[in-house]
Homo-oligomer: A and B are copies of this chain.
């Protein structure tokens, strides 16, 4: 199979998986760059580029003169890792709680973006959102394009919130999902329900009542998310209260 990705990216993927899988335990040092690079069959410079990537993701911290520390992703890992964790968990069976958490986060952000969009969006932005939903509705038979359209809509919604921080979070998350189509696909609920939900959300945004939009969006996204979790064979204990957890 022909590889089109760059060498340092492939090496970064390999190393990331190894680290997340615990092959290089947190707190220890990575093997030396010279050794590791030959072991992976690339030059030291390529290895270094991969290490730099993972440093940016909060997985590694090179220490001049000493070694390259492996960090605990639970303490320092960035959001981009979630998709990799899910993909990795898919092979070991504990992807569902991770996906549930990711849905929880997305729901949170989506609700607020919707509320803010109702309060702040411009006419042009609302027209644009309509167009995006329409376009997406025509792609139900082309799953990859459908997913991509869904992510584009999420970005547009964030933009309509006029909150730059929200926009950038949306960028990070959608970019992550675009690179992990499998994870993104697990996200999609039934298309009919989703699209009709989008339509009604746009109505509420157009009415300009942020809190009404938030309330409505919360109820419906929770319903859609529940569908997704159930379809995945929901983990017992997902969304459970403390009392319920302690009882089990």
Which A residues contact B (CB, under 8 angstroms)? 8, 45, 48-49, 52-53, 56-58, 73-82, 85, 97-98, 101-102, 104-105, 108-109, 112, 116, 118-121, 155, 159, 163-169, 171-172, 175, 208, 210, 240-243, 245
A87 to B194, CA, bound (A): 39
The answer to whether B105 and A108 have CB atoms under 8 Å apart is no
CB distance from A87 to the nearest CB of B (A): 14
Closest chain-B Cβ to A171's Cβ sits at a distance in Å of 6
11 A-B Cβ contacts within 8 A? A8-B52, A53-B56, A58-B172, A78-B172, A82-B164, A108-B112, A118-B242, A119-B240, A120-B242, A169-B169, A208-B242
Instruction: Determine if A74 and B167 form an interchain contact, defined as CB atoms under 8 angstroms apart.
Output: yes
Is B77 a contact of A168 with CB atoms below 8 Å?
yes
Say which residue of B56, B121, B163 sits within 8 Å of A104 (CB atoms): B163
Q: How far is the CA of A242 from the CA of B82 in the complex (A)?
A: 35
Instruction: Name the CB-closest residue of B to A100.
Output: B163
Give the shortest distance, in Å, between A18 (CB) and chain B (any CB).
19
Contact pick for A241, options B82, B105, B119, CB 8 Å: B119
Residues of B contacting A57 in the complex (Cβ-Cβ under 8 angstroms): 56
Q: A165-B101, A208-B242 are in contact. Are A79 and B172 (CB under 8 A)?
A: yes
In contact, B175 and A210 (Cβ under 8 angstroms): no
Q: Which residue of B lies closest to A120 (CB)?
A: B242
- B56 adjacent to A56 (CB under 8 Å): yes
Question: A169 contacts which chain B residues (CB < 8 A)?
Answer: 79, 105, 169
Chain B minimum-CB-distance residue to A99: B165
Q: How far, in Å, is A31 (CB) from chain B's closest CB?
A: 21
- Say yes or no: A77 contacts B171, CB within 8 Å: yes
- Closest B residue to A74 by beta carbon equals B167
A102's closest neighbor in chain B, by CB?
A: B165
Q: How far is the CA of A112 from the CA of B77 in the complex (A)?
A: 20
Whole-angstrom distance between the Cβ of A37 and the nearest chain B Cβ: 15
Report A102 CB to chain B, min CB distance, Å: 5
Listed residue (A45, A97, A208, A242) with the most chain B CB atoms within 10 angstroms of its CB:
A242
- Residues from chain B with Cβ under 8 Å of A165 in the complex: 79, 82, 98, 101-102, 104-105
